[in-house]
Chains A and B, each alone.
Chain A
């Protein structure tokens, strides 16, 4: 195969098989360059969806590392395998029945295996989002839902933590429940929103809306062009 002279080529190993690809590609684009067409293992291509979890080892390194294929540049001598699915069990719950005030430790009830955490921190090292995974599991263990939710907020649910955990903890499912409990029960809900919904219920804006909806383009344009911008408040 003829290669573009300007491009520096490097060798990567996809499940052991060597391919020569241009330097500077991400793992995802390098595999495509090599001829792979993704069905699994590719999602948003922007680091938000957790579809492209990849386990790899770089040259002369004994440790296995984990990251997202769409967000990681290939390196010469990289050995790659993709892990597009994690068979982790998840606890079904009803959001209106998990008030933390009514449970001793609802997260421990739903995920009793968190008590097996030995603080090895392998989960944290596996996380492509640099989340303090072990710390939020520990927070969950002591019933601190708020901290669990805050620490886990950036989770993209790729599942690498759970794949690596020697205690078989389902970190990302546990964290999802913690965040929902915080949103539902710990955060105080908006008063202004409740007020606006009351107004809508009473039909406060209906007349004005009807007027706008039936306006001709030229007329509503006039209103639009005259609108005032509210400053920060």
Chain B
């Protein structure tokens, strides 16, 4: 099963093997702040000025964002408000949750806990319930519960990791709530890795000063998502699948009063009126910022960002995007898929073509990623794949050398399985990695209760900005959707109990359209994107848009 690499790559693997024994005893020193700042400026994609420009319209006009997002953010709506009949309300609700991933589902459960009856809630989601980046998170979830650790220490790690751009009140909420959410997980019956004394096995992550990462093999996100979804099913939360929102609805004062959702299979639209509306639509990895491959879910197209921004919610930190240092770089079939940070947490080292270490394995993610890019394109010490990609080795067999035979197989079953499908045994051979577009650091502005500045509209999870500043640490995204899903569920429920049913208009869409025209934006794009385009070039060139089924 180890013939997955071509001959010339094997030569580099031999070099790596020759240094393994020595490296097992060595740790590459952490980078001083002066060096890492320099490194980021020179090599991190966020610092490439040609990759972004200023937003021309809306609440965050003048701030910078990636071109791939701007193409959609500065585009007219998919719908023409004149075509829509808002007179007939199909769903009249207390709480509409847009997005059926981790954040939205957690919000639904806590809203029920706050007294909202399940039949007055609807989760409208673009794909299936649970289809989300939450499901794909592998490594773990941070929560400071060890004696030598504290929520304050957690705060400090995340604030430094985020380059001091995090919103302090949001980060406070994240770190202080964390232990309580893990306790909730225990009650729901989520399985965490435990030692024989039944205490959690906790690992370090990039940029963390303590062992704080709780995990469930390398299926942590899947275990959380499937249990939380199961609980939503037990509590009979109504879920409309293949039913994305296409625009929010607002009243005369600009407050959000619901959304227009559509059935992706029949193209029929439904009018939803809701006292509170939650955007929990996740991130935008599938926009492939700067042409990077992505570890993200098929549905991660930034729809909520677009809809929320049109309704008047400012964006923050959109100029930074998280590239996970270790995306798969070989074989081609898995290009961009995540290689969990846990691989480095438990001992694997990044190694260059000559079998040398070149960076500490657990720098914050942006620093680690920049170091990989420098190794490949600055120092030309990367390993080139048959299709011309470059990457560095991640010495996974080293884990077994340090921690004992069988550690890789036991702790990383999903990773081992993934590579085995393509004839690579990562317990014997290293794997080739290169940064992959992983997380939308910024997003919609919220307060500590998850309310946006627009009345009636709440947001939680990856669609929001501020919690992680310009760089998120490993294990804080699973935590984010739990902490802020809960907070939003509670605050949206409270709001719903006071709010009167609102008037339904699409006025804000018209105003936004006008602003685009005034700014001289001329584009053929329409947004939100909903489904990314991966069809073959040849087919698209010959595509007849004659609307047989439209």
A and B touch in the complex (CB under 8 A): yes
Q: Which of B74-82, B91-99, B453-461, B529-537 contacts A (4 or more CB under 8 A)?
A: B529-537
Question: Which residues from B are CB-within-8-Å of A223?
Answer: 156
B526 within 8 A of A: no
Given contact pairs A24-B332, A221-B164, A34 touches B536 in the complex (Cβ within 8 A):
yes
B159 within 8 A of A: yes
Contact A193 B145 (CB under 8 A): yes
Q: Which of A56-64, A112-120, A161-169, A174-182 contacts B (4 or more CB under 8 A)?
A: A174-182
Complex Cα gap A29–B299 (Å): 16
Contact bitstring B121-141, A, C-beta under 8 A = 1, else 0 = 000000110110101100000
Q: Which of A40, A47, A48, A180 has the most CB of B within 10 A?
A: A48
Complex Cα gap A26–B418 (Å): 13
Contact A188 B198 (CB under 8 A): yes
Shortest Cβ distance from residue A44 to the other chain B in the assembled complex, whole angstroms: 5
Question: Which residues from B are CB-within-8-Å of A205?
Answer: 150-152, 176
Contact B414 A48 (CB under 8 A): yes
Q: Which residue of B lies closest to A223 (CB)?
A: B156
Shortest Cβ distance from residue B237 to the other chain A in the assembled complex, whole angstroms: 12
Q: Which of B6-14, B55-63, B188-196, B306-314 contacts A (4 or more CB under 8 A)?
A: B188-196
Contact bitstring A193-206, B, C-beta under 8 A = 1, else 0 = 11111001000010
Contact bitstring B29-69, A, C-beta under 8 A = 1, else 0 = 00001000000000000000000000000000000000000
B545 within 8 A of A: no
Contact A209 B172 (CB under 8 A): yes
B211 within 8 A of A: yes
A81 within 8 A of B: no
B residues 217-273 in Cβ contact with A at 8 Å: 217, 219, 221-223, 226-227, 230-231, 233-234, 236, 242, 264-265
Q: How many A-B contacts at CB < 8 Å in the complex?
A: 228
Q: Which residue of B lies closest to A180 (CB)?
A: B189
Contact bitstring A141-168, B, C-beta under 8 A = 1, else 0 = 0000000010001101100000000000
B417 touches which of A25, A39, A130, A184 (Cβ 8 Å): A130
Question: Which residues from B are CB-within-8-Å of A46?
Answer: 136, 295, 334, 337-338, 418
Q: Which residue of A lies closest to B338 (CB)?
A: A46
Q: Which of B179-187, B426-434, B479-487 contacts A (4 or more CB under 8 A)?
A: B179-187
Shortest Cβ distance from residue A206 to the other chain B in the assembled complex, whole angstroms: 8
Question: Which residues from A are CB-within-8-Å of B172?
Answer: 209, 213
Shortest Cβ distance from residue B444 to the other chain A in the assembled complex, whole angstroms: 22
Question: Which residues from A are CB-within-8-Å of B501?
Answer: none
A44 touches which of B136, B153, B159 (Cβ 8 Å): B136
Beyond A154-B414, A187-B186, A200-B151, 5 additional pairs, beta carbon < 8 A: A190-B182, A190-B186, A205-B152, A213-B155, A227-B157
Chain B positions within 8 Å of A, measured between CB atoms, are 33, 127-128, 130-131, 133, 135-136, 143-153, 155-157, 159-160, 164, 168-169, 172, 175-176, 179-180, 182-183, 185-192, 194, 198-200, 209-211, 217, 219, 221-223, 226-227, 230-231, 233-234, 236, 242, 264-265, 295, 297-299, 332-334, 337-338, 413-414, 417-418, 421-422, 531, 533-536, 538-540, 543
